[in-house]
Amino acid sequence: MAAVNELPASEAVRALQRGKLTSEALVRACVERIEAREPDVEAWAHFDAGAAIAEARARDRAGRPGPLHGLPVGFKDIIDTADMPTAYGSEIYPGHRPVGDAACVALVRAAGGVVMGKTVTTEFAFVNPGKTRNPLNREHTPGGSSSGSAAAVADHMVALAFGTQTGGSVIRPGSFCGVVAYKPTFGQLSYTGVKVLAASLDTLGTYGRRVADHALLRAALLGAPATVALVDGPPRIGLCRTPWWDRADASSQAAVEAAGRALAAAGARVTDVDLPRELAGLTEANQDIMVFEGRRSLAWEFAHREKKLSPRLREVLARALDMPFAHYAGAVALARSCRQRFESEVMSDLDALLVPSAVGEAPVGFQTTGDALFNRAWTTIGAPCITLPGHTGPKGLPIGVQLVGRPGADERLLSVAEWAETRIV
């Protein structure tokens, strides 16, 4: 029998609501796991065991269970919390206390969740890696920028966690750490109270162990359906090798093709799909939008605390002020055009697109958090994405496969993903 801290969030909530498990017992199990494993994994930027247990006891006394009653949740440390530090992964903000909670934190608390702590992020959720190690092999990166959130869920330190994605910062760490990670349609989850990097791209996302965990969170934050079971027959899935297919390693290519065969054998209508040539430009557009907007979002930090920014961040953003506005506007226009073509041409007869989650398994070392190549396009057009574990690479580390949906059709995507998650292994 699995330890209670290993339960998927959706199962833990049912046990909590039925009185078969207390929040204090669940949080204590998570605390014990964190205390045992944090020296190796280093997933947390801020964690206070006593405060988490006290909050769990308060949930147990409340007697009016919400949809997340008693469930421990981690938050990436670019998400504001009034009662614990939010440092944005930066030396500029040590011990910084925001005046209020971010919207997602406030909504989780209102739904009965326990704020477990703050998970490690790269500097301002951009390129400079943090301290976190991959819990499956600490010589490898966990991905980024949502490094700590992915690692904490993968290592059974917490049932759910929030991350953010501007390029590939939710999906790629989910693939590297072997958990289910979900990036919603752009704007569906409120970004209020989250440190902005690129407002045209930044998207709040979530980590869990089952697709149902993400539906649970959507229900709590949006009032969306708490269950997403596929009820109208097997899905229509497009297997898309993408314009970047030759840059995926053999194990990532094999994972996608094996998933396509397994889903077809289970009854899905799987067809090969090519993207319009125009969409190949989205990877460069994503980077251009990110650096142009990122340099301006961090204007105060550059003006007043530049010496406390990492050399890598300064180097990456140095060219942004020289980028002509017309070039940036062209990237934004391309994103808009490609989203329209994606909806009207690519997804007109599909429920989901099956593509790689990452170039391959997690790289060795910590100079980089990995390549966001297979995530940038979908982020740039605001499409919902989910990565599902089930495959491994040559070094025994996880390789996810990614399902991409039509913008706004998140519940349909989640229903397809829930149908697929037990069929791709």
- The catalytic residue positions are 76, 145, 169
Distance of CA 228 to the CA centre of its chain: 19
- Which two structure tokens, joined as six digits, stand for 414? 């989640």
User: For the purposes of burial, counting CB atoms within 10 Å of the CB of 248, is it exposed (0-12), middle (13-18) or buried (19 or more)?
Assistant: buried
Yes or no: say if 283 and 244 are a contact pair by the CB < 8 Å rule: yes
Spatial separation of the C-alpha atoms in residues 390 and 70, rounded to whole Å = 29
Spatial separation of the C-alpha atoms in residues 72 and 100, rounded to whole Å = 20
- 345 three-class SS: helix
User: For the purposes of burial, counting CB atoms within 10 Å of the CB of 269, is it exposed (0-12), middle (13-18) or buried (19 or more)?
Assistant: middle
- Which two structure tokens, joined as six digits, stand for 326? 């017309």
H-run or E-run covering 73: strand 72-76
CA 41 → CA 44, 135, 151, 155, 318, distances in Å?
9, 6, 7, 8, 32
For residue 236, which of 348, 402, 357, 339 has the smallest C-alpha distance?
A: 348
For residue 61, which of 32, 24, 91 has the smallest C-alpha distance?
A: 24
The residues that bridge with 1 in the sheet, in sequence order, are none
Q: In what order do the strands lie in the sheet with 236-240?
A: 44-47, 114-119, 72-76, 160-165, 203-208, 180-183, 385-392, 398-404, 352-356, 236-240, 269-273
Spatial separation of the C-alpha atoms in residues 196 and 310, rounded to whole Å = 18
